[in-house]
Amino acid sequence: MSLFKRLLNPKKNKASEKEARGKYYPEEKLPIDEKFTYNFNKNGGKFLYCENLEEILEAFDNILMENDWYEKDVFCINEQLTSRFDGFNLNFSKKGKATFFLSTCESLVANNGSILLSSNQMKEKKLNELPDNIVIFATTSQLVDTISEGLRIIKMQQKGKIPSNITTIQDFESKKEKDFMSYGSSTKNLYLLLLEDL
């Protein structure tokens, strides 16, 4: 089938592929990075892929420019991030009252497009106590398929000192109509700066 026919008739193409593979043949599994990207974007997150630190700094500068966040207060408890993004005329604070939250994360969960955080990133604060705007700095090696894989990694890395406050952020855009499953979740405007490290 030609490329144009596949583009113009995507439903027909999928049906014919399914018929060719058979009714009971298992579904094709997406690679973990594609699955995360798809689910993260579906949740409303803003994704910026960078190949090196220069691109990270450029993307961070673009985020600040887009939102007019220069000379604003930033909640950040990670000293390495504070020194890495020090040249942007920001007021770094370890208190929750800020324009945005700058942090790393424990894992990027592919099967639901969420960000796994713990008290290592946000101390004992709850999600609704964090600023509405969040910028997460992560690497491609932090991609995991499920939340349980992310929890297993935390357990292995912490060796008996498991963080007390573990949560995921999954809702990145406000929905006009909340469903039962999203009741009580706090919506965040989230940017992900993803650095290629594999």
Q: What is the pLDDT of residues 87-145, one digit of tens each?
A: 899 999 987 689 999 999 999 999 999 999 999 999 889 888 999 999 999 999 999 99
DSSP H or E run through 190: strand 189-195
Percent helix / strand / coil, the chain, rounded to 5: 40, 20, 40
Matching CATH number, 31-173+183-195, of 3.40.50.1390, 3.30.2350.10, 3.40.50.10420, 1.10.10.10: 3.40.50.10420
Beta carbons within 10 angstroms of residue 101's beta carbon: 24
Output phi, psi for 109, to 5 deg.
-95, 115
> Residue 3: phi, psi to the nearest 5?
-60, -40
State residue 9's pLDDT score.
55
Buried b (16+ CB within 10 A) or exposed e, 111-135: eebbbbbbebbbeebebeebbebbb
Note the pTM of the prediction, 2 decimals. Answer: 0.80
Give domain limits for the chain.
31-173+183-195
